[in-house]
Structure 1
């Protein structure tokens, strides 16, 4: 098996200026592997800081959110809103397990997940298993703090204020995470060095 990283490094050293598309096409042809493998390896090398790109990135967070890399944001936002709707609208009947499942997800996972995504936006700082464990642990730490703060407000600790404040906190953390991730995900595509 050809070492793709070494082939990529060698091709960059040989050429004065190579675009991402040229680099992927030439290394894939030389190594006899699919272009997607090479593109993924280039992406990983760029994320690890092994490759530098000489052009300035385009600052466009909206395009990031509507790209494939922004899907996590929309899925988490949809789960948050679905949990709010389920807790508010389903009071009894055969749909109660849905309310319980989405309510548990909203309390035990989503706030911590949003916080972890905001704290570690690059994605390679912590492994997926650590991300899962930290999401659950931080949710168990953050949600009681929200309840403690609600205790000192006129609304108190009741269902609607707890659900609303939990959703607002999760959405705010998701938005911060999206802006931070967009900053790291911008891959300009002109010259590698």
Structure 2
């Protein structure tokens, strides 16, 4: 596979996959898997043919789908908290999204901020650290809110966790963009 990539002299991923599939007599998805395996091992680099030129374009590119999934999860949780009735089946959705909102999302945003490269941590390490950091961040938010006039109630907790999570995620987007600029 590496010889095929070297002989082709680069090109786009689709051409490389089709070329390798034809020459090796394998399916296209297997050729794509081999190509990405070479990338993971460091033999080749796959670069964006048209990278975003500004932070705003990067923010609305496919590079930050994770941010939009996180933001939509936060928005869905807030909608479930404030708009939907407190009866089944909505109550079960509140449990699921509320658990995700409290136990995973704040830590996941912080992990993306601290370790912006995908190669820094494995997916399992990201999951474990996200849960652990969420379990550390949420009580700190509660402790800070305890000494404010708002206290520890549903509205201040949901607002502060939403702002914290989205703020950390926005910082992670900016950091990932700066890393992308360095690799160009």
TM-score, structure 1 as length reference = 0.72
Q: 1:101 maps to what in 2?
A: 96
Deviations 1:102-138 (A, max 9, x none): 2222111111122223333333433333222211111
- Following superposition of structure 1 onto structure 2, how do residues 138-149 of structure 1 map, counting pairs within 5 Å? 138-149=133-144
Mapped contact 1:65–1:178 kept (Cα < 8 A): no
For the residues of structure 1 that align with 2:47 and 2:125, how far apart are their CA atoms?
33
Q: 1:72 maps to what in 2?
A: 66
List alignment gaps of at least 5 residues for structure 1. 1-6, 189-193
1:151 to 146, 153, 165: 146
TM-score, structure 2 as length reference = 0.75
- Following superposition of structure 1 onto structure 2, how do residues 104-143 of structure 1 map, counting pairs within 5 Å? 104-143=99-138
Distance 1:153 1:119, change over 3 A: same
List alignment gaps of at least 5 residues for structure 2. none
The offset of 1:48, in angstroms, is 4.7
CA-based RMSD of the aligned residues comes to 3.3
- Following superposition of structure 1 onto structure 2, how do residues 55-70 of structure 1 map, counting pairs within 5 Å? 58-60=51-53, 62=57, 65-67=60-62, 70=64
Q: How many residues align?
A: 178
Confirm or deny that 1:28 pairs with 2:55.
no
Mapped contact 1:109–1:136 kept (Cα < 8 A): yes
For the residues of structure 2 that align with 1:24 and 1:154, how far apart are their CA atoms?
60
